[in-house]
Amino acid sequence: MATSAEGGGVEGVTWQWADLVIAAEEERFEPVLDGVDDAPVDAQPVWSLVGRFLTRKLVKLEFMREVLALVWQSVQGVQVTEIQPRLFLFVFFHKTDMERILNDGPWAYENATLVCRQVVDGMRPEDVVLDTVDMWVQVHGLPMGHTSEKILEQVGNYLGGFVKFDDRLLNVPWKAFYRIRVAIPVDKPIKRRMNFVKRDKSTCWVSFKYERLHNFCFYCG
């Protein structure tokens, strides 16, 4: 009985200690900021993207780095590191270099699409969600009277997530097709066409062409 009581006492102390540790871990810590960046004064500003390639093959860092450096031709270069298996961090030393990569994509290595997003301040690269790829989509077959920006935005959301219009031909009264930038989900089949319902409730087929589309499954899309 003495042994049992002693064991219970030790167990009780253990649980109390565990509660104290958990309580200490849950305490909020807020650093005192002096209103300036904590980076060194002479540190060079950088802009970062995190990305992964849509492939099951092993991506060799040294070869991928060389290929993308040649393709991108960044003004001040790019630094590439693998921060997790198959997850890469691209560090640019000029803002326009990063913006061009985001706006002119999608990019690929060995025909595998690069899914990338900017790493904003206060976020860890591995926490950035990489589930869509931005690409230009040509919308063919829209009927007259159904080509407003509002309708095009709805078409973009039908395909994925509307990003922006191609505003280079805004004043042209009629176009053979319309271009919209869309965030395409990478885990869903791409849509090739849709049955478009007009104002008089009649329907027509509207088709889509994806610019710079890389490897994808022709069976499931």
Query: What fold is seen in the domain 47-121?
Result: Alpha-Beta Plaits (3.30.70)
Q: Of 146, 140, 148, which Cα lies nearest the Cα of 200?
A: 146
pLDDT under 70 in the chain at which residues? Answer: 1-26, 33-43, 169-173, 216-221
Calculated CA dihedral for residues 209, 212, 214, 217, nearest 10 degrees = 0
Extents of the domains making up the chain: 47-121, 132-210
Identify the pLDDT of residue 135.
94
pLDDT at site 218: 44
Alpha-carbon span 130 to 86, nearest angstrom: 12
Rounded CA separation 12/23 (Å): 17
How many Cβ atoms from other residues are within 10 Å of residue 10's Cβ? 10
Spatial contact of 110 and 57, defined as CB atoms under 8 Å apart? yes
What pLDDT, on a 0 to 100 scale, did the predictor assign at position 1? 46
Q: Give residue 29's pLDDT.
A: 74
Q: What confidence score (pLDDT) does residue 5 get? A: 46
pLDDT at 93: 93
The helix (H) or strand (E) run that includes residue 7 is helix 2-25
pLDDT the model gives residue 171: 67
> What's the predicted TM-score (pTM) here?
0.75
